[in-house]
Structure 1
């Protein structure tokens, strides 16, 4: 049995899937099983994936839900630990998987998730979201259920007892984490298990993402809601924060219009998704919606980082040369 299986959900990810799989091949951890769960890709996603040692599981587009696709992938996986990755992420370091698995030495850890950062096409406000959600400091004793299945790992034995909810419109990870905490297990956040998450969304897609996640949030926490007052307060607070950081980063004019568009779509989608009941718990509201405040980040990656970084430029050149000589 493989010690670790990597489950990747995908749909029309030809631009990104190759980089992720190349990054997995560069990992210091060698005993890796890769499971691709494809929900009807019509581009070259599967052709690219087939160049790598992967197991492909297909589901029909009309059967897709985030939880169902994960359950299918976990069913096909044989590892003791299941690493879950979005098809449009790629690991920064060669020891990404090793760092992700380290907290599982504690038998009480059920779920681990890692840091996410954007790239050059990421909206400026989403860079701020990543920095808020995924800080530079690890936390092996997280007390709230926030996590993110774009870059996470779980114990297969616990998934077998508690599969993902297949009816949610998103946030299946948050739902699973909430249930795990309720039965006495713990969650760890590992900043060193870093990936780059590539989002290049239109305003409509940003709105839709936060709308469906708000629908799911409401089902997970049925007592909660998001008032128009929350919408107003949070959009103003996040605009002030984003412009503050953009000014100090010297990119305020470059992002002058994209910042309000992103935040408007984020919070209008959230408001419309909630539109009905409740009040979000204060701790999760701070995690999901509140801005970064005004402290400036320190980027201390520690010694030896340069040796651990995956050189994707080199991998691309090597793949090109290999194709030429075939």
Structure 2
């Protein structure tokens, strides 16, 4: 099977070079890289072309998350479409090898991989990643959670379903839900981690959760998610974050950013749901309830990529 990497990018010159270097160092090579650029004014396009990528432009006024991915997937020639955010980078040289492994089973339509943070990641965001992306793989996952910052899909499945171009986010969850309804298989691959770099302000965190809630209420229309529940969950998560920060000896460094992040998260969610406050309870826990499990070692996943010795741009 041939593999195309599809990357959405807008002013990602600071991060894109590291991702492309990581892809070039894989034990299993991708056959092409397609970068969908939505009008970058920095050196994003120059970096992409220097690494041999095919650049597909999309006008800013045409951009939606789903439409930009459809542009890239249309242009891609591979049997498998590896979809990655421009501000992630693989941890191990075996990343692509692990991402394609579920597709030995013809029933597998979509897979998504693990995400972790780095020193730039806010404490609460790190805990969210541990909740959403556990250290154990899930074969034949029963619920439609997926994430296009680190995902892979058969091109024929994408051609059949395509991403919803009207959604304000969560186009990955929407397509996965439709795939599961048709009896297709969704896998989670913990052995294929990427570092997801999030450097957001309070307002951008709030806006991210707001637009995702707007999308979520359109995709899932089951149980209610009230303002009272949001306040309760914000408090629970703040206390849980403080508890874990104390355990790790990091409380003083996060006294302010923990409540700031959680307030932005839940305020944005309430704003997104206030006109039609519905949320699936089965996924509400995955999105918002704290994870109290202890992490386990994953030292046997492969050889970490050494980015320090690279001469690529913006590493």
The interval holding the TM-score normalised by the smaller chain is over 0.9
**SS of residue in 2 equivalent to 1:83:** strand
TM-score by length of structure 2 reads 0.97
Of 297, 306, 310, which residue of structure 2 is paired with 1:311?
Answer: 306
Structure 2: how far apart are the matches of 1:298 and 1:54?
37
Partner of 1:109: 108
The alpha carbon displacement at 1:28 in A equals 1.0
2:125 aligned residue? 126
Q: Once the 2 structures are TM-superposed, how far is the Cα of residue 262 of structure 1 from its aligned partner?
A: 0.3
Question: Counterpart in 1 of 2:295?
Answer: 297
Q: Tell me, in whole angstroms, the C-alpha distance in 1 between the residues paired with 2:60 and 2:312.
A: 32
Checking the alignment, whether the CA contact within 8 Å between 2:73 and 2:81 is kept in structure 1 is: yes
Counterpart in 2 of 1:193? 192
Question: What is residue 167 of structure 2 aligned with on the other side?
Answer: 168
Question: For the Cα contact (< 8 Å) 1:223–1:278, is it kept in 2?
Answer: no
RMSD: 1.3
Tell me what 1:15 maps to.
Answer: 14
Unaligned runs of 5+ in 2: none
Q: How far apart, in 2, do the equivalents of 1:289 and 1:21 lie? A: 32
Map of 1:256-275 to 2, 5 A cutoff? 256-275=255-274
Which structure carries more relative contact order (alpha carbon 8 Å, separation 6+)?
2
How far apart, in 2, do the equivalents of 1:258 and 1:310 lie? 30
Decide whether aligned partners of structure 1 residues 182 and 319 sit closer, same or farther in structure 2, where only a CA change above 3 A counts.
closer
Maintained 8 Å contact 2:209/2:268? yes
* Mean CA deviation greater in 149-158 or 271-280: 271-280
CA displacement, residues 71-92 of structure 1 (integer Å, 9 cap, x when unaligned):
0000000000000000000000
Q: Is the 8 A contact 2:17 2:312 kept in 1?
A: no
CA contact (8 A) 1:23 1:94 kept: yes
Please name the residue that 2:144 is paired with. 145
Q: Deviations over 1:53-75 (max 9, x none)?
A: 11100000000000000000000
CA distance in 2, matches of 1:74, 1:319: 26
**Contact in 2 for aligned 1:132/1:292 (Cα 8 Å):** yes
In the aligned structure 1, how far is the partner of 2:263 from the partner of 2:299? Answer: 33
Aligned to 1:234: 233
The Cα of 1:30 is off from its aligned counterpart by 2.4
Q: After superposition, where does 1:33-48 map in structure 2 within 5 Å? A: 33-48=32-47
Q: Which residue number in structure 2 is paired with residue 211 of structure 1?
A: 210
SS of 2:215's partner is helix
Q: Pairwise mapping of residues 40-59 of structure 1 onto structure 2 (< 5 A)?
A: 40-59=39-58
Is 1:155 equivalent to 2:154 in the alignment? yes
In the alignment, is the contact (CA less than 8 A) between 1:115 and 1:195 conserved in 2?
yes
Other-structure match for 1:280: 279
Task: Give the match for residue 247 of structure 2.
Answer: 248
Deviation at residue 226 of structure 1 after TM alignment? 2.0
Counterpart-to-counterpart distance in 2, 1:45 and 1:146? 30
TM-score, normalised with respect to structure 1: 0.93
Equivalent pairs counted in the alignment come to 313
Change (3 A) 1:319 1:9: closer
Whether 1:97 and 2:96 are equivalent positions in the alignment is yes
Structure 1: distance between partners of 2:277 and 2:45: 43
Q: Deviations over 1:114-136 (max 9, x none)?
A: 00001101100000000000000
SS for the counterpart of 2:254 is coil
